[in-house]
Amino acid sequence: MNIKNKSAPELADSHKGAVQSDCKSDNTKIRKGTKLYSVISHLAAGNTLHRFQAERVCHDHTLPSTISDFQRTTGIMVARKRITVPGYRGAPTQVALYWLVPDSRVRVQKLLGAV
């Protein structure tokens, strides 16, 4: 799957089995300068992210755990889809591609203090 030129909304429309949900609580604020802030602000800007991109872009070596912790503490679900990307020595590797659907993005921007 070529994801380079697709935005998160396009992916949300094109990925039929993606996990999405509504927020339980918008009370948690995310501090600037944290790993969580880096990951979530990247997604809130409409970008997608998988574990190898997270290492390069956000310096996050444990993206699935970061996403899990975020969902558990805020109740905001991050959409995801399994994709295959080149891994070690180009071998196909399955990873989760994460993004925020528009409704979740608005809620996250509030947590980031952008709204």
How do the pLDDT tens digits run along the chain, 115 residues long? Answer: 444 445 554 554 444 444 443 444 445 678 888 899 999 999 999 999 999 999 999 999 999 999 999 999 999 999 999 999 999 999 999 999 999 999 899 899 888 886 5
Domain extent listing, the chain: 8-112
d(CA 16, CA 94): 18
**Cα distances (angstroms) measured from residue 80 to each of 17, 35, 89, 96, 113:** 9, 19, 25, 6, 24
pLDDT at position 27: 54
Residue 35's nearest CA partner among 57, 60, 70, 72 is 60
pLDDT at position 23: 40
Q: Is 0.85 topped by the overall pTM?
A: no
Residue 83's nearest CA partner among 15, 5, 8 is 15
